[in-house]
Structure 1
Amino acid sequence: MPKDSLVIFDCDGVLVDSEPLAALAYVRAYARNGLEIEAEVISHCVGMKQADIIAKIHQLTGHLLPDDATDDIWGETKALFTEQLASTLDIAAFLSKLETARCVASSSSVERINHSLEVTGLAHYFGPSIFSSSMVKNGKPAPDIFLFAAEKMGFAPERSVVIEDSRYGVQGAVAAGMTAIGYVGGGHTHDGHGPELMAAGASAVCASWDEISAELLKRGFV
């Protein structure tokens, strides 16, 4: 088994099935501030960090959330996650068998990542190896977060593989010189999701963790 490979996991939509809940949280946060948006709008923002999502919603709807109301997003998100968030199907079994190095590289805040992993029972699989786009200058689709994570973990980009569910994440991984595998097993998966990830540069698209395990083995990462 190779010891010189790193598996980098996105969090939302990959480790935890959070995207439908996150979209609802945005709808509720905007409604609290007198702004009506549809959950479908958030589908255009999957993989982005919060500041970029707010800007994208403004672009698409004309509604701009006031700066002093951005904390409402986390408040709504945390409440929904605490009550309803679940891990993706079979991820715990996959992680329990994975013997290579691993980390999380997410567009979410460190607080949100840690909360997501805690409430789903996945935190112990990663320990302190948590990296957020808040730690780098540019969010996905820029490669910054992936290069930062690999450097901190001590791995070269070419020995790093990224599991992503968004086109922005796949684009960022490819720009970092890493192998990207698309995951389409989350609750937000839609018609065209897999082809979208392939078009963004994914080397393969998988709907289950068994499929991802086989891809990692085939490509020499485990």
Structure 2
Amino acid sequence: MDNPLMIFDCDGVLIDSEAVYLQVELGFLAAKGVSVDRDWYVGAFMALAADKWRRQLSDLLLERTGAPLTDDDYVALKSESRRRVIEDVRPIAGIDALLRRLTAPRCVASSTQLPFLPLKLERAGLDRFFGENVFSGDMVENGKPSPDLFELAARRMGFSPGDCITVEDSANGVRGARAAGQFVIGFTGGGHWSDKSGAQLRDAGADMVVASHAELADWLSENTGALVA
């Protein structure tokens, strides 16, 4: 692929925020008396569209405690997550250097709702690399793991699915990009992944897995014309 469209997820690929979300959400569950395996939760819940995440979390609570997620709990949980992310937002190691070298067209495709998505990018200092090419799950009827968001990003950017490389850190994101017919690189460089091997991402359909942006840069240099030396 000489000049692919590079599609980046935001949380866990561009900014190291998934670990913050994970801490807040697991803390919330623990306070409700619900204990879950960390890696299972990452695979099952990370990157879900907001409505699917809420419904799935409510189902989990109902199963374990007999009571679903209340509106007040949902609002408080989302508010705390956003506050913590904004306070602690930082780019994933190596992403700034990668984006500076990237010559290929690029965009963001994230489950994060508007207007929080561009705010996170701005606070991390990464908004300058993407301009208006930022696509949120709010823009489609069905979010991840459905392919709609990835199809929208490719269409808006003027690319066919086979000319896209998507970098995703979640099993749900990988499934969506694969369903859209894109080449998918699983990324395990975020702080939420304790298993850097990417077994969950491979099982979800990732074509390959990298554990850092330096490793991603090396692969792009060897296999595409997407980077300057």
Q: Same fold (TM over 0.5)?
A: yes
Structure 1 residues 62-81: aligned runs within 5 Å = 62=62, 63-67=67-71, 70-81=74-85
* Counterpart in the other structure of 1:177: 181
For residue 48 of structure 2, what is the amino acid of its counterpart? M
Matched, 1:128 2:138: no
Among candidates 185, 198, 201, match of residue 202 of structure 2: 198
* Counterpart in the other structure of 1:100: 104
Partner SS for 2:108? strand
* Counterpart in the other structure of 2:12: 13
Q: Is the 8 A contact 1:165 1:197 kept in 2?
A: yes
In structure 2, distance between residues paired with 1:61 and 1:68: 14
* Counterpart in the other structure of 1:83: 87
Please, what is the CA RMSD of the aligned residues? 2.3
Deviation at 1:221, TM superposition (A): 5.5
Partner SS for 1:76? helix
In structure 1, distance between residues paired with 2:56 and 2:95: 31
Q: Is the 8 A contact 2:19 2:190 kept in 1?
A: no
For residue 185 of structure 1, what is the amino acid of its counterpart? G
List per-residue Cα deviations over 1:172-220 (Å, max 9, x = no partner): 1111110000100000112375111112111111011121122223443
* Counterpart in the other structure of 2:60: 60
For residue 7 of structure 2, what is the amino acid of its counterpart? I
In structure 1, distance between residues paired with 2:100 and 2:196: 31
For residue 190 of structure 2, what is the amino acid of its counterpart? G
Structure 1 residues 134-213: aligned runs within 5 Å = 134-191=138-195, 194-213=198-217
List per-residue Cα deviations over 1:59-113 (Å, max 9, x = no partner): 2232532335543333212211222121101111111111110000011112221
In structure 1, distance between residues paired with 2:168 and 2:137: 15
Structure 1 gap segments, 5+ residues each: none
Q: Is the 8 A contact 1:14 1:186 kept in 2?
A: yes
For residue 48 of structure 1, what is the amino acid of its counterpart? L
* Counterpart in the other structure of 1:50: 50
Structure 2 gap segments, 5+ residues each: none
TM-score by length of 2: 0.86
| Range moving further from structure 2, 69-78 or 157-166 | 69-78
* Counterpart in the other structure of 2:22: 23
Q: How many residues are treated as equivalent by the alignment?
A: 219
List per-residue Cα deviations over 1:101-141 (Å, max 9, x = no partner): 00000111122211211111111111111101111111111
For residue 45 of structure 2, what is the amino acid of its counterpart? C
For residue 22 of structure 1, what is the amino acid of its counterpart? Y
In structure 1, distance between residues paired with 2:84 and 2:168: 23
For residue 25 of structure 2, what is the amino acid of its counterpart? Y
In structure 1, distance between residues paired with 2:2 and 2:181: 19
TM-score by length of 1: 0.88
What percent identity do the matched residue pairs reach? 37
Q: Is the 8 A contact 1:42 1:57 kept in 2?
A: no
Q: Is the 8 A contact 2:6 2:164 kept in 1?
A: yes
In structure 2, distance between residues paired with 1:122 and 1:38: 35
List per-residue Cα deviations over 1:126-157 (Å, max 9, x = no partner): 11111011111111111100000000011111
